[in-house]
Amino acid sequence: MKHISNLTEAMKILNQNRKDQETLIKEKLDAMRNADLLGTALENEDLKKMVGDLDEHEKVQFDKEMSTITLSYSGILDGLADYLEDPDQRKEIIEELMRRMS
């Protein structure tokens, strides 16, 4: 009987850890979906200096191009987050990474 009790307790711990991992994964996927790529890029000191040296026309063009680029990368991150949301697909990625590393 003691073994069954220990097994039951171990299963409870595993299930809680699984729930904790899923919560953490969801938080990370939400962060991927909500990343402010443009804001993060504009925090870079070198980029600030470069943009500061542009004339008004160049700044307008720069803003358009940066918006297009960050929108594209946001779409990629959204798609990746959607893919990683499914545990079976995460398992496929891990298996493929392990295969490539061995």
CA dihedral 43, 47, 48, 50 (to 10 degrees): 180
Q: What percent of the chain has pLDDT over 90?
A: 23
pTM score? 0.64
| Structure tokens, 25 | 């994964």
| Structure tokens, 2 | 């003691």
Q: Mean pLDDT score of the chain, rounded to an integer?
A: 86
Contact 74, 35 (CB under 8 A): yes
- What pLDDT was estimated at residue 2? 61
Rounded (5°) CA angle 31-13-21: 10
Q: Does position 84 have pLDDT exceeding 90, yes or no? A: no
Reported as a single tens digit per residue, the pLDDT across 20-36 is 888 888 898 999 888 88
Taking the domains of the chain in order of start, what are their residue ranges? 2-101
H helices then E strands: how many in the chain?
Answer: 5, 0
